[in-house]
């Protein structure tokens, strides 16, 4: 019996040595034929086990089987190794082939975000004409006749006496005339200013206008709604600051600032907020009673707030854009970034 | 307005730090920044709001603000006109021709001055700090008061005023030589001051050279008037002459300023030069009356959403110069005459709110009825179409509402009526666009210089000309006059092979088909573009390579096609452009096909490809329609697979491959059944169209 066990140990050493010399798949096949195939040395050895006396059969059989399973595993591992050697690997760092996708304009992206936020707060989304009658752009909004905006200087006028609306507020009277309070409305849209174009001025830009009319509305409601809305629009926690301001169609009127979005610690040399820590974002206020009366809303019973901001400006803040002209350039290097 | 802190501190005690003062004003009055100080001491730059120009384009106004904000007393300078008043009549008469344009005018004869005396150093320093060049005591005092009180005044040498001192609109062609040495020839309607009807001064803008104070002047006529803001603004624009005085008038003064300004000048001349007012004349036919505003403390609190004690409300209003009396729960607030902007209870609430501090107003979310808000149908549809185009590799651009001139001309669009702008800033703002294509072509070609292949689209309004209507409010159908369109361009730079151009056409056409399917339209078909008369709207589409998009029997919803080579040539575009232009507004109104489920075939269908050699006159549509007709009811579907037009094909023939889906809802079709039907279809096509199976 010790003889047989010794032979098994010798065979193991021999097979291991043989396997370690194998270089090719053909040599490996040769190895299998010699040791593991049906007529190979190990199965042949296993077949002799049954002729042994019964008390020797078990230990010898166990040793021979362990040897066979071990060698088979080593054989399979060697085969996988040798097969892999012949395979040309992929360079997994080569960029994947992406499906060709287009892009939405950044102003579309930001406008949709604004719409979603206000839809979530129950604001209807409406619009009015861009070629507008002066009475909607000025008169019904309580803009006095002597207001400089009525000059040729600030407004694009059409030959037929109409104008290109200078603010989305022009749609206020139109949308309010068809509604009875309470209502809440958001008007996103394109507006025009008679201005020469440079990095921060455009003849064309887009605004959003909000209106909220109900009983007992106050500046505190305005602050609450804008606070909730603005931090969802800029995707960041922000503080809100009201400053006194003047628009003929609101009273009191406020300018709404948000805390500067730049994430640097100090804002002293900050280009976004020019060192103040605040960024002007909206004009707002309580709707002037004359404006409510102009659309036949009982101003002794109802009050409302209105706010208006530039979508372009929010987009510029979000993408840290410094030249407003890029929005209208059609430049693919710009558009394809969004 | 520029503010010297040293000057400001002479009226009210202020915090040490200029930035703190600027912040107080910014948060409670109007935006104010710390200005650059070059040797003139610390400066502030205040951007006074238009409704506050009357009271706050002045040191006293800003001092009053700061006094109210800081709760400190303001030391007011001496400006009591009564004190300097004299009953004596001057040797001239006042003649105000149009009191609407000059509601108040004051002239005072002042003796005991010397035209060549300098002003004191402190006054010169302050004037220099705000950018005014010191000249002589008389002129410096009027300038000083312009900044301090906000009222421009003017001193004439008394010798220049003869029997009448008048104010009237100019007559066309009159001339005035102003202090800056420029002779202005006036058009009609510029307000002027006159002596015996001869213009001697442009009212509210600049005095005349001849009538001004000279070195030997000893008697002056000091004038102060209220001139119409629009008249002054227009005159200032017309003469291209802006001065500190014209700026103030253009932004609006009040009759109260006239008195305060004159009184302050007289007080200073008396104090600094021992001058005496010896006679005075005034034209003030309709004196301004103070108007009281009634407001309750609760009203103020309700507007602000903030509790403010009624004592605090009264203190604030008093500090701002209002007279306040209390009748029961009502405050009776009489604003000072220089605060014409305070007229309604909301104005009073604003004053209280900003002086208490707007930061004290809490943020509160309103309670409101649970009305659901949904995106309007058209906006929702636009989002879906935009997203679909994006997913198909198209990039959105936005272009101006104005039609870019070069492309407009190249397309011949200028021959079609447009809405026109009276005051364009440049030639690309002359017309409002009637089509998205000119601007899109402009963007596309500029973009093609950066990338060899571009797919660009825009959703936007066009502006249709038509008579201006004055429909009753709320009934205007403005959407019909500003219809939405959706257009796109596939631009390929350089020499583009014919096959490639055809592929591009089919890609764009397919994109359009897919968009219309998304819109729920069935029954979409493509018709040849009719040859168009020269110079009309559709000459941009290349004949034979363009189609009109139609829905059902009547609706024409747009075009898809190759942009004509002549157009590209005119625009010096080297490449090929395939475009689509859809009437989105129309598409969104068309009736949508019902989306009703159809039972899926329970038995596997059989697919058979059919390759045919087809005469060029036979269109794919005709073949598909015939297969449907002949193969009914077992033909479930016919799909287009391939079109080939190689040179090795017989002259005038194309090769077309179609895939027919055979199936039945009742059973599995046998091979024989399908083969028989397929043969019958081929035979029928051969007979009807002269095609051959390949
Ligand atoms: Zn910052």
Same domain, B136 and B29: no
**Option in A104, A203, A288 nearest B390 (CB):** A104
Domain membership flag for residue A94: no
pLDDT tens, A33-50? 999 988 888 888 888 888
For residue A154, the enclosing domain spans 106-335
pLDDT tens, B385-427? 999 999 999 999 999 999 999 999 988 888 889 999 999 999 9
Same domain, B279 and B299: no
pLDDT at B600: 84
Same domain, A124 and A250: yes
Same domain, A226 and A134: yes
Same domain, B253 and B311: no
Same domain, A168 and A279: yes
- Of the residues B590, B622, B650, which one is the last residue of a structural domain? B590
Chain A residue numbers touching B362 (CB-CB < 8 A):
220, 223-224
Domain membership flag for residue B365: no
Domain membership flag for residue A263: yes
Chain A residue numbers touching B30 (CB-CB < 8 A):
244
Domain membership flag for residue A92: no
Same domain, A138 and A263: yes
pLDDT at B40: 72
Same domain, B610 and B680: yes
| Cβ-based burial of B129 (10 A; exposed 0-12, middle 13-18, buried ≥19) | buried
- Which residue, B612, B656, B606, is CA-closest to B631? B606
For chain A, what percent of residues have pLDDT higher than 90? 59
**Option in B28, B306, B446 nearest A244 (CB):** B28
Please compute the mean of the pLDDT values over residues A57-75 and round it to a whole number. Answer: 88
Same domain, A58 and A111: no
Domain membership flag for residue B238: yes
For chain B, what percent of residues have pLDDT higher than 90? 79
Same domain, B420 and B279: no
Chain A residue numbers touching B53 (CB-CB < 8 A):
none
CA distance A266 to chain B (A): 16
Q: What is the CATH number of the domain that holds A166?
A: 3.30.930.10
Q: What is the CATH number of the domain that holds B246?
A: 3.50.40.10
Binning pLDDT at 50, 70 and 90, where does residue B538 land?
Answer: low
CA distance A101 to chain B (A): 4
Same domain, A260 and A141: yes
Same domain, A75 and A222: no
Please compute the mean of the pLDDT values over residues B564-585 and round it to a whole number. Answer: 92
Q: How many angstroms does the Cα of residue B45 sit away from the middle of ligand 1?
A: 20
Domain membership flag for residue B563: yes
Same domain, B315 and B248: no
pLDDT tens, B230-241? 999 999 999 999
> How high does pLDDT run on average in chain A?
90
Is the per-residue pLDDT at B535 higher than 60?
Answer: no
pLDDT at A92: 85
CA distance B474 to chain A (A): 6
Same domain, B417 and B450: yes
Tokens linked to B647: 């040179």
Tokens linked to B454: 């571009």
Q: How many angstroms does the Cα of residue B20 sit away from the middle of ligand 1?
A: 18
Residue to test with chain A: of B24, B346, B404, most A Cβ within 10 A? B346
pLDDT at B137: 96
Q: What is the CATH number of the domain that holds B21?
A: 3.30.56.10
Domain membership flag for residue A95: no
Chain A residue numbers touching B402 (CB-CB < 8 A):
203
Binning pLDDT at 50, 70 and 90, where does residue B644 land?
Answer: confident
Same domain, A79 and A194: no
Same domain, B221 and B349: no
What are the DSSP calls for B520-557, one per residue?
T--SEEEEEPPP--TTSTTTTEEEEEEEEEEETTTEEE
Domain membership flag for residue B639: yes
Chain A residue numbers touching B470 (CB-CB < 8 A):
133
Question: Would you tell me which residues 363-392 of chain B have a C-beta closer than 8 angstroms to some C-beta of chain A?
Answer: 363-366, 368-376, 379, 383, 386-387, 389-392
Domain membership flag for residue B615: yes
Helices (H), chain A: 2-21, 25-35, 41-49, 54-86, 106-120, 134-137, 170-177, 219-233, 289-294, 311-319, 332-335
Is the per-residue pLDDT at A97 higher than 90?
Answer: no
Q: What are phi and psi of B110, to 5 degrees?
A: -120, 125
Instruction: Say how far apart CA B320 and CA B356 lie, in whole Å.
Output: 13
Instruction: Say how far apart CA B425 and CA B442 lie, in whole Å.
Output: 19
Question: Would you tell me which residues 464-493 of chain B have a C-beta closer than 8 angstroms to some C-beta of chain A?
Answer: 467-468, 470, 473-474, 476, 478, 481-482
What are the DSSP calls for A254-321, one per residue?
EEEEEE----SS--TT-TTTTTSSEEEEEEEEEEPHHHHHHTT--TTT-EEEEEEEEHHHHHHHHHT-
Task: Tell me the ipTM for this assembly.
Answer: 0.88
Number of Cβ atoms within 10 Å of the Cβ of B427:
10
Is the per-residue pLDDT at B574 higher than 60?
Answer: yes
Please compute the mean of the pLDDT values over residues B552-569 and round it to a whole number. Answer: 90
- Of the residues B560, B590, B620, which one is the last residue of a structural domain? B590
Instruction: Say how far apart CA A31 and CA A34 lie, in whole Å.
Output: 5
Q: What is the CATH number of the domain that holds B674?
A: 3.30.70.380
Domain membership flag for residue A281: yes
- Which residue, A173, A125, A193, A55, is CA-closest to B380? A125
Contact of B503 with chain A, judged by CB distance below 8 Å, is answered with: no
Contact A218 B302 (CB under 8 A): yes
pTM: 0.85
pLDDT tens, B71-127? 999 999 988 777 667 778 899 999 999 999 999 999 999 999 998 899 999 999 999
Binning pLDDT at 50, 70 and 90, where does residue B499 land?
Answer: confident
CA distance A153 to chain B (A): 9
Same domain, A34 and A122: no
Domain membership flag for residue B597: no
| Cβ-based burial of B488 (10 A; exposed 0-12, middle 13-18, buried ≥19) | buried
Is the per-residue pLDDT at A265 higher than 80?
Answer: no
Same domain, B457 and B570: yes
pLDDT tens, B287-326? 999 999 999 999 999 999 999 999 999 999 999 999 999 9
Are B19 and A277 a contacting pair, CB within 8 Å?
no
Contact B474 A178 (CB under 8 A): yes
Same domain, B313 and B428: no
Domain membership flag for residue B481: yes
Is the per-residue pLDDT at A238 higher than 60?
Answer: yes
Contact B393 A100 (CB under 8 A): yes
Instruction: Count structural domains, chain A.
Output: 2
pLDDT tens, B455-483? 999 999 999 998 887 766 656 688 899 99
Closest chain A residue to B300 measured between Cα atoms?
A: A218
Q: What is the CATH number of the domain that holds B405?
A: 3.30.930.10
Same domain, B572 and B476: yes
CA distance A260 to chain B (A): 16
Please compute the mean of the pLDDT values over residues B655-661 and round it to a whole number. Answer: 95
Closest chain A residue to B345 measured between Cα atoms?
A: A251
> How high does pLDDT run on average in chain B?
92
Beta-bridge partner residues of B208: B178
Domain membership flag for residue A101: no
Residue to test with chain A: of B368, B372, B488, most A Cβ within 10 A? B368
Please compute the mean of the pLDDT values over residues A230-238 and round it to a whole number. Answer: 89
pLDDT at B371: 87
Cis peptide before B633 (omega within 30 of 0): yes
pLDDT at B96: 95
- Of the residues B360, B390, B409, which one is the last residue of a structural domain? B360
Chain A residue numbers touching B229 (CB-CB < 8 A):
146
Please compute the mean of the pLDDT values over residues A179-199 and round it to a whole number. Answer: 93
pLDDT at B650: 87
pLDDT at A313: 92
Same domain, A211 and A302: yes
Contact B375 A119 (CB under 8 A): yes
**Option in A119, A219, A288 nearest B361 (CB):** A219
Domain membership flag for residue B76: no
Same domain, B121 and B240: yes
Contact A254 B358 (CB under 8 A): yes
Contact of B443 with chain A, judged by CB distance below 8 Å, is answered with: yes
Length of chain A: 338
Q: Which residue has the tokens 């968009």?
A: B515
pLDDT at B593: 72
Instruction: Say how far apart CA B112 and CA B99 lie, in whole Å.
Output: 32
Domain membership flag for residue A151: yes
Binning pLDDT at 50, 70 and 90, where does residue A1 land?
Answer: low
CA distance B395 to chain A (A): 4
Instruction: Say how far apart CA B34 and CA B5 lie, in whole Å.
Output: 10
Please compute the mean of the pLDDT values over residues B584-613 and round it to a whole number. Answer: 87
Contact A331 B370 (CB under 8 A): no
Instruction: Count structural domains, chain B.
Output: 5
Chain centroid, CA B44 distance in Å:
30
Domain membership flag for residue A192: yes
For chain B, what percent of residues have pLDDT higher than 70? 97
Chain B residue numbers touching A223 (CB-CB < 8 A):
305, 361-364
Same domain, A144 and A174: yes
For residue B300, the enclosing domain spans 293-360
Is the per-residue pLDDT at A309 higher than 70?
Answer: yes
Q: Which residue has the tokens 């391939």?
A: B642
Q: How many angstroms does the Cα of residue A258 sit away from the middle of ligand 1?
A: 10
């Amino acid at each position: 019996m010790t003889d047989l066990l010794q032979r098994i140990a010798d065979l193991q050493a021999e097979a291991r040595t043989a396997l370690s010399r194998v270089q090719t798949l053909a040599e490996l096949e040769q190895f299998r034929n010699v040791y593991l195939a049906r007529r190979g040395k190990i199965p042949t050895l296993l077949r002799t086990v049954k002729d042994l006396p019964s008390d020797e059969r078990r230990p010898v059989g166990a040793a021979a089987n362990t040897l066979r399973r071990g060698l088979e595993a080593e054989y399979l591992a060697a085969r996988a190794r040798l097969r892999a050697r012949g395979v040309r690997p992929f360079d997994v760092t080569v960029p994947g082939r992406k499906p060709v996708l287009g892009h939405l304009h950044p102003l579309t992206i930001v406008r949709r975000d604004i719409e979603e936020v206000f839809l979530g707060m129950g604001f209807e989304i409406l619009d009015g004409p861009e070629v507008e009658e002066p009475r909607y752009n000025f008169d019904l909004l309580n803009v006095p006749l002597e207001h400089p905006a009525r000059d040729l200087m600030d407004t694009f006028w059409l030959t037929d006496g109409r104008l290109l609306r200078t603010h989305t507020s022009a749609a206020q009277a139109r949308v309010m005339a068809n509604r009875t309070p309470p209502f809440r409305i958001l008007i996103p849209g394109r507006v025009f200013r008679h201005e020469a174009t440079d990095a921060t001025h455009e003849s064309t830009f887009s605004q959003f206008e909000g209106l909220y009319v109900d009983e007992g509305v106050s500046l505190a409601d305005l602050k609450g709604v804008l606070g909730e809305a603005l931090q969802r629009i800029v995707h960041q926690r922000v503080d809100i600051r009201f400053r006194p301001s003047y628009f003929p169609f609101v009273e009191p009127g406020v300018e709404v600032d948000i805390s500067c979005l730049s994430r640097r610690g100090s804002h002293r040399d900050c280009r976004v907020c020019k060192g103040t820590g605040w960024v002007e974002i909206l004009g707002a206020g309580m709707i002037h009673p004359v404006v409510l009366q102009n659309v036949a809303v009982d101003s002794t019973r109802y009050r409302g707030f209105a706010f208006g901001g530039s979508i372009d400006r929010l987009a510029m803040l979000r993408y840290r854009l410094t030249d407003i002209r890029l929005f209208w350039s059609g430049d693919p290097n710009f558009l394809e970034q969004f | 307005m520029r503010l010297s802190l040293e000057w400001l501190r002479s009226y009210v005690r202020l915090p040490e730090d200029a930035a703190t003062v600027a912040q107080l004003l910014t948060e409670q009055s109007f935006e104010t920044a710390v200005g650059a100080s070059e040797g003139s001491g610390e400066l502030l730059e205040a951007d006074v709001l238009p409704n506050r120009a009357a009271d706050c384009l002045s040191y006293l106004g800003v001092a009053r603000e700061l006094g109210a904000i800081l709760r400190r007393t303001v030391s007011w300078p001496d400006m009591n006109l009564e004190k300097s008043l004299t009953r004596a009549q001057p040797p001239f008469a006042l003649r105000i021709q149009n009191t609407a344009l000059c509601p108040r005018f004051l002239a005072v004869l002042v003796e005991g001055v010397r035209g060549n005396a300098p002003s004191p150093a402190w006054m010169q320093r302050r004037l220099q700090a705000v950018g005014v060049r010191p000249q002589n005591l008389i002129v410096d005092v009027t300038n000083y008061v312009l900044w301090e009180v906000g009222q421009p005044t003017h001193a004439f040498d008394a010798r220049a005023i003869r029997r009448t001192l008048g104010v009237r609109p100019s007559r066309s062609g009159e001339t005035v030589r102003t202090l800056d040495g420029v002779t202005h020839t006036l058009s009609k309607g510029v307000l002027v001051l006159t002596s015996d009807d001869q213009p001697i001064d442009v009212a509210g803008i600049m005095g005349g050279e001849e009538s001004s104070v000279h070195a030997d002047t000893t008697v002056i006529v000091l004038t102060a008037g209220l001139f119409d803001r629009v008249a002054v603004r227009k005159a200032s624009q017309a003469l291209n002459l802006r001065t500190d005085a014209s700026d103030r008038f253009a932004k609006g003064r009040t009759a109260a300023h006239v008195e305060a300004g004159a009184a302050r000048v007289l007080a200073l001349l008396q104090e600094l030069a021992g001058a005496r007012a010896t006679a005075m004349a005034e034209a003030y036919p309709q004196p301004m009356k103070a108007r009281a505003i009634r407001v309750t403390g609760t009203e103020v609190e309700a507007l602000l959403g903030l509790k403010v004690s009624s004592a605090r409300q009264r203190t604030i209003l008093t500090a701002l110069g209002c007279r306040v009396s209390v009748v029961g729960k009502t405050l009776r607030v009489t604003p000072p005459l220089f605060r014409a902007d305070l007229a309604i209870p909301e104005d009073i609430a604003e004053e209280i709110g900003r002086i208490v501090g707007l930061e004290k107003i809490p943020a509160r979310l309103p309670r409101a009825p649970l009305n659901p808000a949904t995106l309007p149908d058209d906006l929702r549809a636009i989002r879906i179409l935009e997203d679909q185009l994006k997913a198909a590799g198209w990039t959105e651009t936005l272009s101006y509402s104005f039609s870019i001139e070069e492309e407009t001309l190249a397309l011949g669009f200028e021959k079609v009526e447009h809405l026109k702008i009276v005051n364009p800033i440049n030639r690309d703002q002359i017309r409002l666009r009637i089509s998205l294509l000119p601007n899109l072509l402009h963007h596309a070609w500029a973009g093609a210089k950066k990338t060899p292949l571009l797919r660009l689209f825009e959703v936007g309004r066009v502006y249709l000309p038509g008579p201006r209507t004055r429909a009753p409010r709320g009934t205007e159908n403005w959407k019909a006059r500003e219809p939405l369109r959706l257009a796109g361009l596939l631009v390929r730079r350089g020499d583009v092979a014919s096959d490639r151009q055809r592929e591009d056409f089919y890609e764009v056409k397919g994109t359009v088909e897919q968009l219309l399917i998304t819109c729920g339209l069935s029954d979409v078909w493509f018709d040849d573009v009719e040859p168009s008369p020269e110079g009309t709207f559709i000459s941009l589409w290349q004949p034979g390579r363009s189609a009109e998009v139609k829905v059902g029997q009547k609706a024409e919803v747009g075009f898809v096609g190759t942009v004509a080579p002549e157009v590209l040539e005119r625009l010096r575009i080297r490449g090929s452009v395939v475009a689509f232009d859809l009437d989105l507004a129309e598409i969104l109104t068309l009736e949508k096909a019902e989306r009703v489920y159809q039972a899926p075939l329970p038995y596997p269908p059989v697919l058979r490809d059919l390759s045919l050699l087809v005469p060029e006159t036979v269109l794919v549509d005709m073949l598909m329609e015939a297969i449907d007709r002949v193969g009914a009811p077992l033909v479930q579907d016919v799909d287009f697979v391939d079109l080939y037009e190689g040179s090795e094909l017989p002259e005038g023939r194309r090769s077309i491959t179609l895939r027919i889906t055979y199936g039945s809802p009742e059973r599995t079709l046998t091979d024989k059944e399908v083969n028989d039907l397929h043969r019958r279809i081929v035979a029928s096509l051969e007979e009807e169209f002269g095609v051959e199976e390949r």
